[in-house]
Structure 1
Amino acid sequence: MSDVWGENLPILYGRSVATGELVHVDDAPNGKACGCVCPDPGCGQPLIARNNGKKKIHHFAHIGGTCAWSAEYLLAELALEVIRERGCVWFPELSYEVPETHLPERISKGMELPVDCAEKIEVEGRKAPAIGLDVRTSRGCARYVFVPELAHVLGGEQIASLRKECRGIVKIGFRGLMRSMKTLEHYDREELAVRIQSKAVMEELLSGGRQRHLSWAWNAKAKELSDQAWKLYAQRKEEERQKADAEKERRAAIDQARREKTRLAAAKRAEKERAQLAQATKAAAEREAAREAWEEAHPVQGRAIRDEARRQKALSDMDRAREIMAPIVDDARKPAKGLGGKRWYRCEKCGKVGPADEFAVGDVGGVWNRGMCLECA
């Protein structure tokens, strides 16, 4: 028993060659005389009943090697027998994932429903059968499929093939059940093999006693509601995107209008400045023409004015400032303020006029001033 979770799980039931019914290993003769074959018709190997030992659990063994699907086939047979005997089966809670929060939204709680008909059905790609159930609901009779899983999980293509003929697919998780029993109930490997193939555990499982090991692989109603939720979510997101795009376009239009307004204002200012410049140029030309006309009419005065202009142009800024301040600073003892608030003085020795930084500090006639330039000082 190298892999208690998978293909090498020892089987406790064989199919009687005489009756075709399942026979427990303790009810069969020991050895090859048990008259049983593998419960999986795809295998059909003769079995050996090992029910005479005291150290290992009693079980059937294949003569020609272990069968990969015998355990799952046997569990499907046991589940079908229990469902037929009980006439009802537990369905797990049904829910779907909310798109925005990714949290489950419950559609219906787990419940036990009556079964009108239960039968084995073949599943494409699986060598163990599933259980097809006709179940009475508030809306009439509906077809559901229960699939035992142990060593071989239910694949996407298998689910797709089953979806065409039923309203929902429920997985019976025997591997998870065995792990839970080992962890929480502390069964050893041999006890697990016995417990998982007992009718008591199967009845407990299919009546809702171990609900967490029954789960939906697919459900038409959940799919429909999930598709509707995703559609509404996509519509809402599309509306939000359209609103965001509209707001973006509105802001872009506002920015464009603001830029256009700024451009027009700048163009208007530039036009006004050009007009003012043209007007000033025209006025300057008119003044120059008037000056030339006046100088032609008054040649002597005009010559004097031109000479003065040339002289002023040749002077530096400081020289012009000295000429301007010379008549103002007429007393060496009394400084005067010039442009920019600077104090200007006249030297009492040389008569030079200049700003304060060109004069020394001195006491002239008891009055504190700067009446003597640095050169004279």
Structure 2
Amino acid sequence: MIGDNNTNRNLWIITGLASIPFAILAFVDPAKVKFPHIYILFVGACLFNGLVVPFVLFKNEPDWIQKTLALGVNMIFATLWIDYTGGTSSIFYPNFYLLPIIAATMYCGFIDSFLTAFFAGLLSLWFQYNELGLNLAIIGETSILVNIIFFFLLSSILGYLIKIGREQQASTMKITSELETAYHQLSASHEQLQSYTEIIEKMNKEMEQLAITDELTGLYNYRYFQIALDKELKKNKFSVVSLFMLDIDNFKLFNDRHGHLMGNRMLAEIARVIKENVRGVDTAVRYGGEEFAVIFPGMDSNEVAQLAERIRKIVENTYIKTGAGEPVSVTVSIGVASYPRDAQTKSELISHADLALYDAKQAGRNQVCIFKKRPALES
């Protein structure tokens, strides 16, 4: 059937309503009309085509039995209507059979419309035979033959055209459905790909972060220190960049006495103190072992030394408890150097901060030293 069920149902009702004015023409010549048969037939046709067909037989997609029943009953209605309005002398003979033929063509397809036209032709001949008898003159009557041929031509042409229309509509609907399916699949694939891309980007960022982060302390590692110091020196070529190097005093002795687990806890605690006391623009790293470093862009040696002294005091007064509940602490020594006052290159800055740290160790540990230039060796 063409279109959806609601459309077909409404179209069937409209077709039935449109045929009512033609049916009223039967009362133009009441002498030929059989009363009250015509009234009963009229009511029956209205009920069947207004209620039974659209709301029962064609409520859902009809099968061949339901189609045959709808067309067959309407063929009977058409035959009785012609009979009750004068038979072969009726104004409806034989053209009233066009209604079931058109209905078959519109709703049931080419084969159904062809068969309906065939039976309509047979019924037209039956009326002639029933009233006048079968003879060659009747069979050869031009008007009857023309009507029969017209029925077949009409059903064939309309049936073929509607068949093509249905096939095109089905093809269009199939293509539309396939395009919608492909679009939804593509959208889902795009969303899934986007989700995977976001996951991969997130994992890459996490891996990059892990590659430059010290797992124990959460500070940057030595690899990132080299990258960050290069970056700061290039960015602050005509400004100041300071560096301090911090080393835990007698850390090997601490590990030997309290164990490496306590040593790791102490490293993490000192890292926390450093992070809490430097600026957001500063770069704090675990340089290696028990040694830490912080890069200070825009701060000179004296400013960094003051901050380093504060960190040193906090560390000195920071205690962690051993497994036995004994509070223990450590001290740190810090060396400070600045670019460009103390060094002209990255390697010089690291070396001079390390020399300042060495001076702090040599001076008794637990203190902060600023790099001092060594006197040149005499040749």
Normalising by the residue count of structure 2, what TM-score does the alignment of the two structures yield?
0.28
Between structures 1 and 2, the one with greater strand share: 1
Normalising by the residue count of structure 1, what TM-score does the alignment of the two structures yield?
0.29
